[in-house]
């Protein structure tokens, strides 16, 4: 310990500040739940070529660097998870047939749920989250490393900047410089997001505007999740279980839409899965219906979407589902810190106004029927009425027992917004690191 203190005595005390951007930049909104994140500092040649490392103090007091691509990185980084020094993944790991095992395949194997398997890894709560995040970064770093080393394989010379140099008659390579290209095959990259958006607009050109916009969010209270949790576990302790169950239900949802046509015959569709700032995975999906199943007027809208709390005595199960999953807020004067609040007003424009009949809205969505009725108590001195109901489809809500918002895309104005919203990209964070001894009173 004395040697450890000597080595790290000169490290400055720093503070890390996460900067919240304006709320209209959704990618930069701060999360509202506790999460585990990894911040990789530096991108020098050594880290790109050999990966990250941890420093281990040897018995002689010297430091030993252990790279993330070595099999003994995991037991040294996570001695609680691997108390017997179990060898982890390295670049030479093979399967029973002698084939190389990728980093992704190895950690997918480690996170599998097996019958009667008392896996210590899946029972460690926050440490499991750190293990998952750490190894996801390892997988992404490996992909980036491969791309950097295989620029000729991705034919980076065909990208527009080099073509432009040739077209203007540039013959001296020194004047062109050298670029390392991150291709659109890398998920989440700017080129990937741009290509997805352009593909979406091509679908519009071919199939017409989208007819239905659906947002479905994971419900941590699903019986498939709660039945697998141990008495001391909460859903956030098992991110692997949440994502597996959500994906399974998403595949069922797609089958109901595309093959069974529960909302009409689907001509084309697109969707993207992402994680909310509240820590749960959710999916945005756009459906383009065939001509015979298009929704043309308010009567068609009412047959597909409702925005009212059903009567308890008439539809008890649907009433319970709507109250549990489809009530917006609380926001406004009740909760001014709600994520939907901007400049003192709800960005989603809740509470809505009462309406006796559905009508065509002035923006991209219809104004759904919300008749005046008695308020429903939610406890804690709060009650709601139809003005606070998020539009839903009764069959889908009862089928999947989760927040599942269904909107009719009634206007051509919705095209660009919806397709950009679906492919807005992953979450981002802006941060600053300050030395503890540094003080700038003006700043």
- Predicted confidence at residue 49, as pLDDT, reads 62
H or E stretch including 274?
Answer: strand 266-275
> Helix %, strand %, coil % for the chain, to 5?
35, 15, 50
Residue reference for tokens 């791309």: 147
pLDDT above 90: residue 420: no
Whole-number pLDDT of residue 8: 47
- Position 185 scores a pLDDT of 85
Residue 204: CA count within 13 A, CB half-sphere? 19
Residues 6+ apart with CB under 8 A from 411: 361, 363, 364, 365
Q: How many residues does the chain have?
A: 443
What gap in Å lies between CA 339 and CA 183, rounded to an integer?
34
Q: Pick 129 or 162 by higher pLDDT.
A: 129
Q: How high does pLDDT run on average in the chain?
A: 82
| Alpha-carbon span 257 to 3, nearest angstrom | 63
Cβ–Cβ < 8 Å for 409, 212: yes
Whether the per-residue pLDDT at 43 is higher than 50: the answer is yes
Other beta carbons within 10 angstroms of residue 39's beta carbon come to 9
**Terminal C-alpha separation, the chain:** 38
Angle between helices 414-422 and 190-207 (to 10 degrees): 140
Q: Is the pLDDT of residue 23 over 60?
A: no
175-196 average pLDDT score: 77
Angle 349-388-348 (CA atoms, 0-180°, nearest 5)? 20
- Sign of the Cα pseudo-torsion (210, 394, 362, 294, in order): positive
DSSP structure class, residue 98? S
The CA distances from residue 170 to 140, 180, 364, in Å, are: 36, 19, 49
Average pLDDT (248-265) is 94
Between 350 and 10, the more confident residue is 350
Predicted local distance difference test score (pLDDT) of residue 4: 43
Asked if pLDDT for residue 161 goes beyond 70, the answer is no
Per-residue pLDDT at 2: 44
**3 band by pLDDT with thresholds 50, 70 and 90:** very low
Separation of alpha carbons 4 and 267, rounded Å: 64
């Amino acid at each position: 310990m004395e040697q450890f203190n000597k080595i790290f005595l000169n490290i400055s005390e720093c503070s890390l500040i996460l900067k919240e951007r304006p709320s209209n930049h959704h990618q930069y909104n701060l999360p509202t739940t506790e999460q585990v994140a990894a911040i990789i500092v530096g991108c020098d040649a050594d880290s790109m070529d050999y990966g990250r490392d941890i420093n281990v103090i040897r018995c002689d007091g010297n430091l030993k660097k252990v790279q993330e691509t070595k099999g003994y990185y995991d037991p040294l980084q996570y001695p609680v998870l691997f108390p017997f020094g179990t060898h982890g993944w390295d670049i030479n790991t093979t399967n029973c047939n002698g084939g190389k095992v990728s980093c992704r395949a190895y950690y997918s194997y480690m996170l599998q749920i097996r019958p009667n398997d008392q896996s210590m890894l899946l029972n460690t709560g926050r440490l499991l989250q750190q293990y998952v995040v750490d190894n996801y970064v390892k997988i992404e770093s490996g992909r980036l490393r491969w791309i950097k080393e295989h620029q000729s394989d991705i034919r980076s010379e065909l990208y527009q900047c080099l073509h432009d140099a040739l077209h203007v008659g540039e013959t001296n390579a020194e004047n062109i410089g050298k670029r390392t290209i991150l291709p659109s095959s890398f998920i989440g990259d700017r080129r990937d997001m741009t290509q997805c958006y352009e593909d979406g607009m091509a679908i519009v050109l071919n199939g017409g505007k989208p007819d239905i916009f659906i947002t479905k969010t994971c419900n941590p209270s699903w019986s498939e999740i709660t039945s697998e949790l141990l008495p001391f576990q909460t859903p956030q302790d098992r991110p692997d279980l949440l994502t597996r169950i959500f994906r399974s239900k998403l595949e069922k949802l797609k089958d109901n839409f595309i093959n069974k046509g529960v909302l009409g015959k689907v001509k084309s569709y697109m969707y993207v899965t992402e994680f909310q700032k509240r820590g749960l995975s959710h999916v945005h999906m756009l459906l383009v219906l065939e001509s015979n199943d298009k929704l043309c007027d308010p009567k068609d809208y009412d047959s597909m979407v409702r925005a009212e709390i059903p009567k308890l005595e008439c539809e008890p199960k649907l009433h319970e589902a709507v109250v549990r999953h489809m009530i917006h807020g609380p926001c406004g004067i009740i909760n001014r810190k709600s994520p939907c609040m901007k400049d003192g007003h709800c960005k989603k424009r809740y509470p809505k106004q009462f309406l006796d009949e559905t009508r065509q809205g002035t923006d991209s969505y219809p104004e759904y029927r919300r008749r005046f009725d008695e308020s429903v108590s939610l406890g804690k001195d709060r009650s709601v009425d139809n003005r606070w109901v998020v539009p839903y489809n009764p069959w889908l809500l009862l089928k999947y027992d989760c927040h599942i918002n269904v909107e009719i895309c009634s206007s051509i104005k919705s095209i660009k917004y919806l397709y950009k919203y679906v492919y807005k990209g992953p979450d981002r964070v802006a941060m600053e690191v300050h030395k503890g001894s540094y003080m700038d009173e003006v700043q």
